[in-house]
Amino acid sequence: SDQLKKKLPLADIKILVTAGPTFEAIDPVRFIGNHSSGKMGFAIADELAHRGADVTLIAGPTSQTLKNPAIKLVNVTTAAEMLEACTHYYPQHTACIMSAAVADYTPVTVAPQKIKKQDAVLNIELTKTTDILKTLGESKRDDQLLIGFALETEKEEEYAVEKLRKKNLDLIILNSMNDEGAGFKGDTNKITIIDKHLQKTIFTLKTKTEVARDICEKVIQLLNP
Ligand code: CTP
Ligand code: CA
């Protein structure tokens, strides 16, 4: 089966994938999270492994499971933990696909005890998290690929291209929220892939498994120019 594996398009290529939301603690019983299911990232990890890749998956809290037992799963909870895991693992990998829905803000302090209800209004002070993708983009080597996602509700392509440039990406996958059924909660996505030469590929509404296959094919193309 070692002989068989060698014939696969991503045989022995090391790829890092992130998936799911991050949870940012407010107090011992509460957190700020988001609706990311982790489905997209888990599907990408499985499809890459199916094509022979050596996959490390860094996942925030999700109920997803992997089909392929060869994938190395690293569980994290917060944006800070995901940053630490990503900066640790990226140098040993040829590509990173950042599909996680990382919190943009985290509470300045975590209350040591459960916050008791008091006034009519409660303010929780938040501070910006580190942009993981941007951090990886700053240390990216010539022999590495970096792929990000963009979730937009307006000026989709303009904002996606801005992120591609600002974060030094090779590809950005624009997740359209415009279509019924698309989005990070459900089972389908409508994506547009934009590369660093601003070449665009528009896809129809598909299941997340099908979308994961399209993304894999793009990665294979990039690795075999
Ligand atoms: N991302 C990241 N670290 C963060 C926030 C986002 O690595 N702290 C990554 C996401 O995983 C995704 C990409 O950046 O691959 C774009 O995420 P998105 O939320 O669309 O964009 P932001 O840059 O966070 O900007 P905004 O939310 O304001 O649109
Ligand atoms: Ca964001």
pLDDT in tens, 63-114: 999 999 999 999 999 999 999 999 999 999 999 999 999 999 999 999 999 9
Residue 149 assigned ligand-binding role: yes
For ligand 1, mutation pick of 35, 133, 164, 175 (most atoms within 8 Å of CB): 133
pLDDT at 31 over 90: yes
| Model confidence pLDDT, tens digit, residues 146-201 | 999 999 989 999 999 999 999 999 999 999 876 565 666 678 999 999 999 999 99
Domain ranges of the chain: 2-109+125-223
| pLDDT confidence of residue 118 | 95
Q: What is the pLDDT of residues 114-128, one digit of tens each?
A: 999 999 999 999 999
**Contact criterion met (CB below 8 Å) for 148 and 170:** no
pLDDT given at position 3: 65
Per-residue tokens: 150: 């963009």
* Residue 147 one-letter amino acid: I
Tokens of residue 135, six digits: 């951090």
Rounded to 5 degrees, φ, ψ at 72 are -85, 115
Q: What is the pTM of this model?
A: 0.96
The ipTM is 0.99
Task: Give pLDDT, residue 55.
Answer: 98
Q: Which of 103, 146, 136, 109 is nearest to 15 (CA)?
A: 146
Task: Using pLDDT thresholds of 50, 70 and 90, give the confidence band for residue 1.
Answer: low
Beta strand segments in 20-144, E: 24-27, 30-32, 54-59, 72-75, 95-98, 105-107, 126-128
Identify whether 34 is a catalytic site residue: yes
Those residues whose beta carbon sits under 5 angstroms from the ion ligand 2 are 104
User: β-strand 24-27 against 72-75: which pairing, if any?
Assistant: unpaired
CA separation, residue 97 to residues 3, 60, 143, 169 (Å): 27, 14, 15, 10
Tell which one of 84, 163, 194 to mutate to probe ligand 1, the residue whose CB is within 8 A of the most ligand atoms: 163
- Protein residue closest via CA to atom 18 of ligand 1: 150
> 2-109+125-223 maps to which CATH number?
3.40.50.10300
104 lines ligand 1 (CB under 6 A): yes
What's the CA-to-centroid distance between 151 and ligand 1, angstroms?
Answer: 8
- Parallel, antiparallel, or unpaired: how do β-strands 14-19 and 95-98 relate? parallel
